[in-house]
Chains A and B, each alone.
Chain A
Amino acid sequence: MSKAKKFSLNRVIAVSWRVLTQISRDKRTIAQMIFIPAIIMLIFGLVAGGAAKNLPIIVDNQDAGYIIPSGQNSTSLHFGNSILSSLQLDDRVKVNVGSFVSGKVGVDNGTYYAAIIFPANFSEVLFLRNAGQSLNASVTVYIDGTNPTIQAAVMVAVQSSLQNTFGSGGVVVNEQFAFGGVQFSGLDVSIPAVIGLVLTQVVLLISIITLVKETTSGVLSRLYATPLSAFERLLGFSFALLILGIGMTGVVLFIGLVIFGAIVQGSFVLLFFGAVLFALLNIFLAVFLSNFAKNELQAVQMVPLITLPSMALSGMLIPVSTFPGWVQTIAQFVPMYYANKLFEGIMLKGYGISNLAPQLIIIGGIALLFFVLAVITVKDRMPD
């Protein structure tokens, strides 16, 4: 009898052969191996290629201009108009003209990304400063600092217009931050989106595995012969997963807020409610998707198909306003897009229900839609 070798490359190859043969029999896995990377690359390519454009801002040009006395002739200066014209030609921003006060309100309620004011003596100060007087010419920009990419695009547009008008140096830009004057850190602006991502990934994964486990355990064949209806089973699962979802939401918020010290300018109760509602959306999505998965492997394969495009299209990584127009339209069908707006609105902007009602209603509506789809597609008997 031959002694078995301690290590055998043939045995290793036998295992690899078996694994590859099994996978080759699983057409769904093979399809996903091709389609998931293709779809993800396509989506990320589409969204990453854009730049911030047409960002709505409001300019209050109070500059009265300045007339330079010069003998019989006089020269009129109006730097405010020049900068305004330059801004209007910059496709990074879409300029609206109005009052600075109403502009600030517009920034606070999300209508504009920035409100800019040129003071009444702007041209005069600039002229006198250039003539040697020790004076400071400044523009004030009241800006939404919740999205660094957009904030940077607006400021670059402003600086660029100043550069075009005056060359290097000259004008000081006073940056005032909206939403309590807080200059948000990188962590502050990313935590709201991370909350959305974690709730999507974790709630979806745990929910779908829990649901599909019942399919693979063989219990369903017994359950179909009991008085338990498919609707009762779905509801029972949903209640249990909601309790788990509340727990997961608590953990996510605890880590974000307590460990990382993320800012919450608005109501914590609203934040918690919104997070639980979004978790419920993902639970119902998991319930719906579980009706199409025959085993845990297939269930798990569905999760990145949801979370990766959601990450790309929700504005989590790249602002939605930088996407091509048709991609922006698609983004509006992604639940995480609304979750990001909801969490960002509460945490960074201090918004309440009146501002966030649309996001809450949409998230609740999508959750209900997924539940209805789950009820329609759930199996209540053995397959034919």
Chain B
Amino acid sequence: MWLLGLSGDSLANSSTYLREPVIETSNLVKIYKEGAIRAVDGLDLKIGKGEIYALIGANGSGKTTTISMLTGSLFPTSGEIRVLGLQIPKKRRIVSSRIGVAPQEYALYSDLTVEQNIWFFAKLYSMDRGSFLKRLDELLPILRLNERRKTTVSNLSGGMKRRVSIACALVHNPEIVFFDEATVGIDPVLRAFFWNYFRTLAETGLTIVLTSHVMDEAERANRIGLMRAGKLVEEGTPEEIKRRNSASSIEQVFIKLSEGTVADE
């Protein structure tokens, strides 16, 4: 059972996921003007269709910046990005209808209800009312929000707001979904529930790219990319990474490879 944290893919290797890449970056760089911060420094990424890819790293390692560039919300300083075969940011408007994003903040309208929030985003993806209501009837029970359909978002708990945020990202049946720290502040029961749901979605062909700094969570992904100072310092399936680094957990690998970054922060 996935809820127990057992991976059916533990024997798969990285190449399994790269036969059909949906996200590719080449020497991606982002230097923020303010402070001349090199947030992403020559990132080469390849993520396959139906993969759950976890981008992990310490705070400030470049995870959110990377996600923002992949979704077209932030323009790179240099380097190339292709999502679903199309160049980003040049074709971002076309790609945007095929991806979903749940940002780090809740990014919801607090004075609208759960249904109104999801409806607004559904309209942005040109969904008609009939299709939206059908999709809502699918999503809300799965995300355990059915009874909160007419509740104003400001009256929801943090965990419920996260679920609404996920619903907004999934309402239009995207091909890729980006979850930036989707499980921050979530209790273990709800976190296990989310991962079960992510697994179900990936089995339908949806590619999930998520960021996290919760290491044991990263072990549930198909592949992990470990970032440090804007660079990818390690990548592979959880087993591959642990084996290469002679570690028993991803957390050990992370600590070992992140040595020295605490002082930088």
Contact = CB atoms under 8 A, between A and B. Distances in A.
Interface of A: 217-219, 221-229, 381-382, 384
B121 interface: yes
B96 A221 contact: no
A131 to B, nearest CB: 84
A381 B32 contact: no
A218 B99 CA distance: 19
Given A219-B107, A226-B96, A384-B33, 20 more contacts: A217-B109, A218-B103, A218-B105, A218-B107, A221-B104, A224-B71, A224-B74, A225-B71, A225-B72, A225-B96, A225-B178, A226-B101, A227-B124, A227-B126, A228-B124, A381-B73, A381-B74, A381-B89, A382-B73, A384-B32
Interface of B: 32-33, 68, 71-75, 89, 93, 96-97, 99, 101-110, 121, 124-126, 168, 178
Contacts of B74: 224, 381-382, 384
Contact of A224 (B72, B105, B106): B72
Contacts of A218: 103, 105-107
A330 B32 CA distance: 40
A227 B93 CA distance: 5
A228 B105 CA distance: 19
A158 to B, nearest CB: 61
Contact of A222 (B89, B107, B125): B107
Contacts of B108: 217, 219
B93 A229 contact: yes
A384 B105 contact: no
Contacts of B75: 381, 384
Contact of A221 (B99, B107, B109, B125): B107
Contacts of A221: 68, 73, 103-105, 107
Nearest to B94: A227
B7 to A, nearest CB: 29
Nearest to B72: A225
Contacts of A219: 107-109
Nearest to A223: B124
Contacts of A229: 93
A22 B32 CA distance: 25
B107 A227 contact: no
User: Chain B's interface: helix, strand, loop or mixed, by majority?
Assistant: loop
Contacts of A222: 101-103, 107, 121, 168
Describe A's contact surface by its main secondary structure.
loop
A225 B124 contact: no
Nearest to B110: A217
A226 B32 contact: no
A148 B135 CA distance: 66
A225 B75 CA distance: 12
A200 to B, nearest CB: 26
Contacts of A384: 32-33, 74-75
A351 B126 CA distance: 47
A292 to B, nearest CB: 16
A225 B73 contact: yes
B68 to A, nearest CB: 6
B4 to A, nearest CB: 33
Contacts of B105: 218, 221
A239 B198 CA distance: 39
Contacts of B102: 222
Nearest to A219: B107
A224 B107 CA distance: 11
Given A218-B103, A218-B107, A381-B74, A226 B125 contact: yes
Nearest to A382: B74
24 contacts: A218-B103, A218-B105, A218-B106, A219-B107, A219-B108, A221-B68, A221-B73, A221-B103, A221-B104, A221-B107, A222-B168, A224-B74, A225-B72, A225-B99, A226-B121, A226-B125, A227-B93, A227-B126, A381-B72, A381-B74, A381-B89, A382-B68, A384-B74, A384-B75
Contacts of A382: 68, 73-74
Contacts of B104: 221
A190 to B, nearest CB: 37
A16 B33 CA distance: 34
B233 to A, nearest CB: 25
A27 to B, nearest CB: 14
A229 B124 CA distance: 10
Nearest to B73: A224
A315 to B, nearest CB: 40
Given A221-B68, A222-B103, A227 B125 contact: yes
A211 to B, nearest CB: 14
Contacts of B103: 218, 221-222
Contacts of B109: 217, 219
Nearest to A232: B124
Contacts of A228: 124
Contacts of A225: 71-73, 96, 99, 101, 178
Which of B96, B102, B125 gathers the greatest number of chain A CB atoms within 10 Å? Answer: B96
A381 B93 CA distance: 12
A146 B145 CA distance: 63
A231 to B, nearest CB: 11
A223 B93 CA distance: 11
A364 B93 CA distance: 32
A213 B246 CA distance: 50
B68 A227 contact: no
A270 to B, nearest CB: 37
